[in-house]
Amino acid sequence: MNHSSNGKVAIVAGGGGIGGATARRLAQAGTAVVIGDLNPDDAEGIARGIVAAGGRAVGVGCDIGSEASVQAMVAQAVNTFGGLDLIHVNAADLSVIFRDSNAVDVDLAVFDQTIAVNLRGHLLCTRAAIPELLKRGGGAIVYTTSAAAFIGEEERPCYAMAKAGLNALMRHVASRWGQHGIRANCVAPGFVVTENNLKTLPEGFADAAVKRTRSTRLGKPEDIAAMVALLLSAEGEWINGQVISVDGGSTMR
Ligand SMILES: NC(=O)c1ccc[n+]([C@@H]2O[C@H](COP(=O)([O-])OP(=O)(O)OC[C@H]3O[C@@H](n4cnc5c(N)ncnc54)[C@H](O)[C@@H]3O)[C@@H](O)[C@H]2O)c1
């Protein structure tokens, strides 16, 4: 694989399944990548794999719920690679999702924790990144949202509210900075099998989930990474302000 530099620098905020695949994909196109994750070992592991394959990457511990931590991640990109052009804001706190019951019963601590990371954390990444993107004459942002934001479900209202908020944040950023050369879009994955969610999948879930798609299989992190890479690339230059579903046809809007 050719990793020769394309001169671009990206942050992937939130490694894991989808973020890890995005980081590898961007690096393959010659982009230098900073991976920030709550789990520094995972972030460093993704970066080591990219470097071993001939790419440029560093992994850093980052809690996107903390403004200082987000600023340090952005500073790492600027100090190590000379600036920032692209950011995939992808992290989500999924540790409380099984307690995200319904609007009447849900513990407000679950709401607060979900919003603090999955929505406020994305705002923190946005406001730390934009000044750096502007210094380079523009750039692109992709947020990972979810069909939960628009399909309506009996459960996980806090997760859905955070994702709906992300779609609004993205439309604001595209509107406010589009004419300054910054594009913002959301990718809405369908069910993507990752190392993390494989550990907690109830028996029979995968088969039932395939039936809800219009596809022969569930999603892979690389399916989402391909769309994120397009949205962050020069080929995606005229795509702005969109929520794009990559879900094997599960939803049709
Ligand atoms: N996998 C799916 O089916 C699916 C479907 C729709 C949307 N999504 C969204 O895709 C994104 C990535 O999910 P994934 O499936 O790859 O999950 P994952 O668990 O593999 O990755 C999520 C990563 O976010 C990190 N993280 C959690 N809290 C953080 C914080 N405060 N600061 C920084 N990093 C933090 C975790 O350590 C983890 O590495 C999430 O936003 C999720 O909501 C996933």
How is residue 130 written in tokens?
């934009």
pLDDT of 183-194, one tens digit each? Answer: 999 999 999 999
Residue 141 confidence (pLDDT): 99
Distance (Å) of CA 14 to CA 2, 106, 128, 148, 230: 25, 26, 15, 19, 19
pLDDT for res 202: 84
Q: How confident is the model at residue 3 (pLDDT cuts 50, 70, 90)?
A: confident
Name which residue sits closest to atom 9 of ligand 1, judged by CA: 144
* Mean of pLDDT values over 167-177: 98
Query: Is residue 78's pLDDT more than 70?
Result: yes
Q: Output the pLDDT for position 200.
A: 82
Ligand 1 centroid vs 30 CA: distance in angstroms?
A: 24
Q: What percent of the chain is predicted at pLDDT more than 70?
A: 99
Q: Is 159 a catalytic residue?
A: yes
Q: Where are the alpha helices (DSSP H) in 183-220?
A: 195-198, 205-211
Give the per-residue pLDDT at 185.
99
Mean pLDDT along residues 88-103: 97
Distance CA(12)–CA(91), nearest Å, equals: 9
Rounded average pLDDT over 215-234: 98
Q: Look at residue 1 in the predicted model and tell me its pLDDT.
A: 57
Kindly give the pairing relationship between strand 243-246 and strand 182-189: parallel
What's the CA-to-centroid distance between 3 and ligand 1, angstroms? 26
Position 2 scores a pLDDT of 60
- CA–CA dist 76, 68 (Å, integer): 12
Indicate which residue of 81, 111, 159, 191 is catalytic: 159
What mean pLDDT do residues 70-99 have? 98
All domains of the chain in start order, with CATH: 9-246 (3.40.50.720)
- State pTM to two decimals: 0.98
Residue nearest atom 32 of ligand 1, based on CA coordinates: 63
Asked if residues 224 and 190 have their Cβ atoms less than 8 Å apart, the reply is no
Ligand 1 binding pocket mutation candidate from 11, 18, 117 (most atoms within 8 A of CB)? 18
Determine if ligand 1 sits within 6 Å of the CB of residue 57. no
Asked if the model's pLDDT at residue 224 lies above 60, the reply is yes
Q: What is the mean pLDDT of the chain?
A: 96
Tell me, what's the pLDDT at 84? 98
Kindly state the average pLDDT of the residues 126-145.
Answer: 98
